[in-house]
């Protein structure tokens, strides 16, 4: 479900690796939710959802650190969007998951997958452009000397 595509790469290895890890956790949740041999998997699903929450928080912090370090102009907007997403996944309705686990989990994954994809393509890739402009700027500086 969470298929990684090269177009998601923002050229910064550390961020790409973290995005890939998020995709992996998403896939593990999907596999568990759709595995027909599973019996009672409510607790396992909750644990994986916790992993997803924790890793997302870790990743956003890391990404924000990198943006701050390089004076990325879109930092504030990114942080605002990150915070909103964290608030959303922190306030998940676990009762809904208990009632009809598979349906609720698939709905959640659908939301998370679309959010991450759109976020990477719409916002994180701009970090790539910025880094590239920094690199070419440095190159010009050297050339001018």
Binding site for Fe ion (CB under 5 A): 63, 124
Distance of CA 117 to the CA centre of its chain: 8
Beta strand residue intervals within 2-105, DSSP E? none
Task: Kindly list the distances between the CA atom of residue 34 and the CA atoms of 87, 91, 116, 117, 127, in Å, as whole numbers in the listed order.
Answer: 27, 24, 21, 21, 35
Q: Which is nearer to Fe ion, 16 or 124 (CB)?
A: 124
Rounded least distance, CB 71 to Fe ion, Å: 16
Rounded least distance, CB 58 to Fe ion, Å: 13
Spatial distance between the Cα atoms of 24 and 2, rounded to a whole number of angstroms: 7
Q: Which is nearer to Fe ion, 15 or 108 (CB)?
A: 15
Q: Which is nearer to Fe ion, 16 or 63 (CB)?
A: 63
Rounded least distance, CB 63 to Fe ion, Å: 5
Q: Which is nearer to Fe ion, 10 or 49 (CB)?
A: 10
Query: Mapping DSSP to helix (H, G, I), strand (E, B) and coil, where does residue 29 land?
Result: helix
> Which residue is at the shortest CB distance from Fe ion?
124
Rounded least distance, CB 81 to Fe ion, Å: 7
């Amino acid at each position: 479900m969470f298929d990684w595509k090269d177009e998601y790469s923002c050229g910064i290895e550390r961020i790409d690796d973290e995005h890939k890890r998020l995709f992996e956790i998403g896939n593990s949740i999907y596999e568990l939710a759709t595995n027909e041999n599973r019996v009672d998997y409510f607790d396992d699903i909750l644990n994986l959802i916790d992993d997803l929450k924790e890793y997302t928080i870790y990743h956003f912090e890391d990404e924000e650190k990198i943006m701050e370090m390089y004076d990325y102009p879109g930092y504030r907007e990114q942080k605002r969007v990150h915070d909103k997403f964290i608030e959303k996944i922190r306030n998940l309705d676990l009762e809904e998951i208990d009632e009809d686990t598979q349906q609720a989990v698939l709905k959640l994954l659908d939301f998370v997958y679309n959010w991450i994809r759109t976020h990477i393509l719409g916002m994180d890739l701009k970090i790539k452009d910025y880094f590239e402009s920094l690199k070419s700027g440095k190159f010009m500086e050297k050339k001018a000397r």
